[in-house]
Amino acid sequence: MTIKVAIVGGGIGGLGLALALHARGLACDVYESVPEVREIGVGITLLPHAMRELAALGVQPELEAVGIENLESVFFNRWGQFIYREPRGRHAGYALPELGIHRGKLHGILYRAVLQRLGADHVLTDHRCVGVEQGEAGATLGFVRQSSGAALPSARADVVIACDGVNSTVRRQFYPAEQVAFAGINTWRGVTRHKPILTGKSYLRIGSIDTGKMVIYPIVDNLDPKGHQLVNWVAEIRREGSAMNDWNLGGRADDFVDIFSGWRFDWLDVPALIRNADQILEYPMVDKDPVPRWTFGRVTLLGDAAHPMYPRGSNGSAQALVDARTLADELARPGADPRAALQAYEAQRLPVTARIVETNRSVPPDFINIKVDELSGGRPFGSIDELISQEELRLISENYKRIAGFSLEALKPA
């Protein structure tokens, strides 16, 4: 039996699924709402479990050529005092690297791979899905042009995979009253041309969510003869009663830079990093409560459409790629009934990702900083060892890796 798959959404999860299906000999079409796919956005970190999936899709060399391999992850309090350091990726014993990369570069590499392997006729842009109907014979997808709102011909498939993000139209069919969960945390993301910080391959977490937090890492090397990098940064703050930032608006430094006004350290001037940004975007920190099911007959959800989670720990894209491989494996089983395959995929992935959603809310990787702030009362300390041992901090970090599926043990070759 030949299964035809319709993928709604051409983001990282949708493109990863298309490549995984193609590698297993299954036909699919990708329907993407934007009229033109362009390399936009800011930075993303590809953790070893994301790299495992991307290596299997055959794009690792291209990613390494345009990203920066992380050497270490380092934690500081808002006074610039050292808390904890650990090696990352290959430097921590993994077979694969951890990369900082421009999200647009990652997306472009996947998109070109899909065009080359599947053919351009299997990728339909300017197709916004407005609904799915299904029956015993298959599923029918309705579309309009994103650019004009004009109706487009419907499409038929055996199964439909919704990869259309946190505001998924397909998910809304099954959960029409659902809202995103916002707990008063807003974020601003930017990129700045800057001299290398610390090693030039360091992933930094500074401060904590209630008094201001910065995540900083490089994504492009050697921009000019002076050796400047393109440095990605994320600013976060939780304020009770705050209105949500708007996904559709550019960010303004004046809206948040005062939070970090005193953050001038021997090794970094944070206000200058923000003020000198090439680009700033604003976002709310949102997710959705885990739902009891993703699969409805011939339709299932994947990536942010299935399990939108706080963008902490660089885990959203990794989990979408794991979803894609798991689903492709189930659909490719000899004699597989497509509806049973969707159920088998859900059974494997829903409980795991629900736990990660909850962990990203309560005990994310930067819980290390939160814990130290609790112990110090948010004040400068004499020595971190007077508050908590490095071993205790390591265990916090290792626990997150284990839950998220990228502990060293979990990724050892079979």
Domain boundaries, the chain: 4-66+102-179+289-362
Q: What integer pLDDT is reported at residue 361 of this predicted model? A: 86
CATH superfamily for 4-66+102-179+289-362 is: FAD/NAD(P)-binding domain (3.50.50.60)
Torsion of CA 106, 112, 118, 119, to 10 degrees: 160
Low-confidence ranges of the chain (pLDDT < 50): none
Query: Cα torsion at 52, 54, 56, 59 (round to 10°)?
Result: -140
Rg (CA), the chain: 22
**Residue 51 pLDDT:** 96
- Read off the pTM: 0.95
pLDDT for 414: 60
Where do we find the tokens 């000899």? 334
Q: How far is CA 265 from CA 78, 80, 169, 227, 229, in A?
A: 10, 6, 45, 21, 19
For residue 407, give both structure tokens.
């502990």
How far apart CA 316 and CA 270 sit, in angstroms, is: 26
Q: Give pLDDT, residue 40.
A: 81
- pLDDT tens digit string along 328-361? 999 999 988 999 999 999 999 999 999 999 988 8
Q: What is the pLDDT of residues 202-254, one digit of tens each?
A: 999 999 999 999 999 999 999 899 999 999 999 999 988 889 898 878 899 99
